[in-house]
Structures are given as structure tokens and as C-alpha cells.
Amino acid sequence: MNPDHMTAGIRDRLSELKNIIRDMGTVAVAFSGGVDSTFLLAVAHEVLGDGCVAVTAESPAFPQHESDAAQAFCSGRNIRLIRVTADVMSDPLFVSNPKDRCYHCKKRIFAMMAEVAGENGAEHIVEGTNKSDEGDYRPGMRALQELGVRSPLREAGLTKQDIRELSREMGLDTWDMSSFACLATRIPYGQRITEELLSRIGNAESVLRDMGLRQYRVRAHGDLARIEVMEDDIPFVISNRDVIYERIKAAGFVYVTVDLAGYRTGSMNDVLS
């Protein structure tokens, strides 16, 4: 990492992050393979070496390609990766899909991670929430607080833009990676979550990914798939509507639409306001 390319503010926040991690002694990083957790894991491993392990949760709600990317990253850097199977589908408070669904999911997953972390000598479990996440509707944060999970990026004041800049300086391929979330976020609150529905959504989103789109969502409204892409990508989707329609229909949807408002984070939360 070349400090000459960073502003004094970012340097200070990075230094604070390293101090926070160093003071913990040993950590287990909740690792999804996304922008934030990859950066956090890279820094934690740099600071603590073998005192840092990665823990990845596997669930029908998480796309397989994310799990594969997490495995590849850890293998390439000789970071120990522990996989835990998160049986969220057996939790009626998750599958009923209430407005605080994320709380119930994270409570179960991080409780399992905390147990595994302790068994492997990690004093703390940390995750990748950052300063830019403050103010969003995130019921899952309550679960993290209850379990004593730390968020070093947020504690150090690092924003999403900081993390992308620092990731680029560190040579992390994820620096310009699109943001993603668990597949359950594609389902309207109150609509029951099933493995079949999660699989349909994952397969439909694979269609868009395979066509080269980088930021997208397929929101499931019963038999209808509502595609969200960046505004600049809407003409591409329209011009390729026949193949997209046929492939997403083959994934299990009857109707396929494009949201003219484009991609936006947490659009399912619009009904909460």
C-alpha cells in the first residue's frame, strides 16, 4: 500500500483501524467475499497474521459464487477459512419474512460464528459494517450488538469510498466490486421465503451476471421478476429483452419486468416509509 497516494484523513483512519484490530489480539472475520469484508480481512491478516481467521456462512440465501470467491481469496493468501452451515430455513421467524427478518437471520448466523470463533482461539468476532452504513434501515445491527460483534471499519470512521480507495491501493480485486446482499432481500416483507424461491432468484440474477451486468437485483413479487439495473444499463436490458425474458422465465418466473427507476439499495424498504 503506497501511503503517498492517500489523503491524511484516510491515512489516519487506516492507522486507527490497525490499532483497533491490534488491540483485539485475535479475531475471526465474518467473511462474505464482498468489498468491505475482504478489505477488513486483508488488513486484519496483515496486522495479526495467524491470529486472524475467516469465517464464512453458507446458506440458501447466499449465492454459491460468493462462497467460491471467498474460498479463492483465502487460499491465495494462506488465510485459514472456516465454513459454517447456517440453517436459517428452519427458523420460522426468518422464513415468515417479517420487517426485522435480518435481525433473526444475523442473530442465528453470528451466534454460530461466535461459537466457532471461540473454539478456534479467536477472542473477538468482527464484521464489515462501515461509516457509510449508518442511517440505513439495518435491523441486523441489533443482533450484532447483542452478541458483542465488533465493526472495526465503522469504529475507525472509514466510509465506503475510503474502503474502495484503500482496497485499490492494496491491490484487492474487490475495490470496484458491486455491492450485493443476501437473496432474501429480493423478497417483499410478508412473502414467505422458501429454498425454491431463493434458488429462482439466484438463477435469474445469474442470467444478468453472465450477460456482463455488474450491479443488479431481481426482486421477486410472486410469479413476477422485477429487474433493477443501473440507469445506464436499462437500454442494454431493453435491447436484449427477448433473451433475458426467456432465460429468466426458464429460471421459474412467469412475468419479467424492468424497473424504470433503476437499481437502488434497499428498494424493498420503500414500503416502510
Q: How many residues does the chain have?
A: 273
Res. 196 pLDDT band, cuts 50 70 90: very high
Phi, psi of 144 (to 5 degrees): -65, -40
- The residue-averaged pLDDT of 129-157 equals 90
Domain 3-176, CATH among 3.40.50.300, 3.40.50.620, 3.50.80.10, 3.40.50.2300: 3.40.50.620
pLDDT grade, residue 273 (50/70/90)?
Answer: low
Across all residues in the chain, what is the average pLDDT? 93
Least Cα distance to 158 among 3, 50, 20, 32 occurs for 20
**What is the residue-wise DSSP string for 137-206?**
--THHHHHHHHT-B-HHHHTT--HHHHHHHHHHTT-GGGGPPP---GGGGS-TTSPP-HHHHHHHHHHHH
Confidence check: pLDDT of 50 > 90 = yes
Q: What is the pLDDT of residue 97?
A: 97
At the second CATH level, the architecture of 183-272 is 2-Layer Sandwich (3.30)
On whether the CB atoms of residues 217 and 250 are closer than 8 A, the answer is no
Measured between alpha carbons, how far is 120 from 117 in angstroms, rounded to an integer?
Answer: 5
Q: pLDDT tens across 210-219, in order? A: 999 999 999 9
DSSP, res 30: E
Question: Domain map of the chain by residue range?
Answer: 3-176, 183-272
Nearest to 82 by CA among 29, 144, 26: 29
Average pLDDT (134-143) is 80
Judge whether residue 178 has pLDDT over 90: no
Give the pLDDT of residue 64: 82
For 80-136, write each residue's pLDDT tens digit: 999 999 889 999 999 999 999 999 999 999 999 999 999 999 999 999 999 998 876
| Closest alpha carbon to 125 in 49, 55, 34 | 55
Q: How many CB atoms lie within 10 A of CB 215?
A: 16
Q: What percent of the chain has pLDDT over 90?
A: 85
Hey, what amino acid is at 251?
A
Pairwise CA distance, residues 195 & 174, whole Å? 28
Is pLDDT of 260 > 90? yes
CA angle 150, 153, 76 (to 5 degrees): 95
